[in-house]
Amino acid sequence: MAEGEGTPAPVSSSAIRMEADALNAFLAEAFPNSASGTRGRVVSAEPGRIVARQEPIETMLRPGGLISGPTQMGLADMAAYALVLAHIGPVAMAVTSALNYQFLRPCLPKPLTAEATLLRLGKRLAVMDVRLYTDDASRPVGQANVTYAIP
């Protein structure tokens, strides 16, 4: 009683409809109420993969001076959202349907990088893997699996 839904849409190399700059402009307009600095930015976008980054600010820290869990999960969600938009364009109203986050290592208060990759882009659901790290990509601080519903 189990497998993916319907025929998967191919993720071709021509699939990118928005570059990093366009994604950042879209996000800034969509979230005008975000406190300054609280929203990460897209660093690069290519077919099937996006990189986003967040500079930590004081309110993002938890006891011990580490970057808080909700901050990490928020960046993972933003990276996944940008990855979906990059492929389907700015018109669509995509919404998160699930976010599973594994906390792997203490997250030191350094610039936090998120790499999001497409596992599957279907007509109705997009499923993505997101890895978060500070200094060393081979030692991630967290890993997320994020599902977006596509309208």
Residues that bind its own copies (CB under 8 A): 1-6, 8, 30-31, 33-35, 38, 58-59, 61-64, 66-74, 77-78, 81, 93-107, 119-120, 124-125, 127, 129, 139-143, 145, 147, 149, 151
Closest CB to its own copies among residues 51, 99: 99
Closest CB to its own copies among residues 17, 90: 90
> Which SS3 state, helix, strand or coil, does residue 92 take?
coil
Nearest approach, Cβ of residue 68 and its own copies (Å): 6
Pairwise CA distance, residues 16 & 19, whole Å: 7
Closest CB to its own copies among residues 6, 14: 6
Q: Within its chain, how far is the Cα of 38 from the centroid?
A: 14
Q: 90 φ, ψ to 5°?
A: -80, -10
Give burial (CB, 10 Å; 0-12/13-18/19+) of 113. buried
Q: 99 φ, ψ to 5°?
A: -140, 115
Closest CB to its own copies among residues 42, 67: 67
